[in-house]
Amino acid sequence: MNAAANDVAGQVRPGVLSLSIKEKSALFAAYMPFIKGGGLFIPTNKQYKMGEEVFMLLTLMDDPAKLPVSGKVVWVTPSGAHGSRTQGVGVQFAFNESGKAAQNKIEGLLGGSLKSVRPTHTM
């Protein structure tokens, strides 16, 4: 879906990002626990602006259910970033039921590894 696509009422729909994470190490690298309410880094070549509203469909580990979560862009890693960082965006989960559910699910899956000092996509 195009982030600038217009709906019937003429309003702009938020961008839709789909992310499937199958391994705990990949989830650790993508999760942003330092963001209030939690967030995820999503590799993408698409350009997003800070504060832009997005909608995510997350598939985590072996759970076949997709987790629908809305949020906003709070981190942008551009193409050619220092240190060969992966291009993409960090999305803060919305402060609602689905955002809290995503944060709880991810933190439950990561458990004690949340305290690790291994590098991630953002820090």
Instruction: Write down the pLDDT at residue 116.
Output: 55
Mean pLDDT of the chain: 81
Total-model pTM: 0.79
Does 81 have pLDDT greater than 90?
A: no
Q: What is the C-alpha separation between 67 and 99, in angstroms, rounded?
A: 9
121 conformational bin, left if phi > 0, alpha if psi -120 to 50, beta if neither: alpha
DSSP secondary structure code for residue 66 in this structure: -
When pLDDT is cut at 50, 70 and 90, the band that residue 17 belongs to is: confident
Mean pLDDT, residues 35-56: 92
Whether the per-residue pLDDT at 42 is higher than 80: the answer is: yes
Please state the rounded mean pLDDT for residues 7-12: 40
